Amino acid sequence: MGIAPAADWEHDLASVLLTEEQIQARVAEMAAELADEYRDKHPLLIGVLKGSIVFLSDLMRRLCFPLEIDLVCCSSYGHSSESSGEVRLRLDLSKELAGRHVLLVEDIVDTGLTLSRLCDLLRERQPASLKVCCLLSKPSRREVDMQPDYVGFEIPDEFVVGYGLDYAERYRWLPHVAVVKPEAYR
């Protein structure tokens, strides 16, 4: 019996950055922090499609108090690994924000351009409060002053996939976060 050969897709991945256990433990900690702030506020959690769906669904199942969810979709990187800096709403919210306590749930903050622009757009709708919760942050890549209020993990400047994050729509299903080999996307 030899070692099973790596599947084709595995050749694109360099290493596991965060294991499923690390992610689940941190999500539980973040949920506890969020409960302190939002338990009595009936918050509206807004997931940014598509990357945040796994994080949002794990997070909200650990928040054992009344809340609502909604989803927005911004223009994405498409098949590139670089941000265009241009942010367009491709799917708008179905709920009114005025007077609501809003928590924006994002997979990763890189340059900060997407969230900074999205927060500007949402603030115009006059929520009672607007905060940002992200699973991953790459502080060394920031191009605008965007400091998320809740951060799961600060990570180095590497392109990652898994736990909802994709590269050209692949790898979202991985239960962990992995680093993509640069030669796979260059």
β pairing state of 129-137 and 89-91: unpaired
Count, residues in the chain: 186
> Using alpha carbons only, what angle is made at residue 140 by residues 154 and 74, rounded to the nearest 5 degrees?
75
58: contact with ligand 5GP by CB under 6 A: no
CB of 26 to ligand 5GP, least distance (A): 17
Question: What does the per-residue mask of binding to ligand 5GP show for 81-100, with x meaning CB under 6 A?
Answer: --x-----------------
55: contact with ligand 5GP by CB under 6 A: no
* Percent composition of the chain: helix, strand, coil (DSSP 3-state, to 5): 30, 30, 40
Task: Single out the residue of 17, 104, 132, 165 in contact with ligand 5GP (rule: CB under 6 A).
Answer: 165
How many CA atoms lie less than 13 Å away from 124 in the CB half-sphere?
Answer: 5
Among this protein's residues, is 40 annotated catalytic? no
Q: Which is nearer to ligand 5GP, 18 or 76 (CB)?
A: 76
111: contact with ligand 5GP by CB under 6 A: yes
* Active site positions, annotated: 110
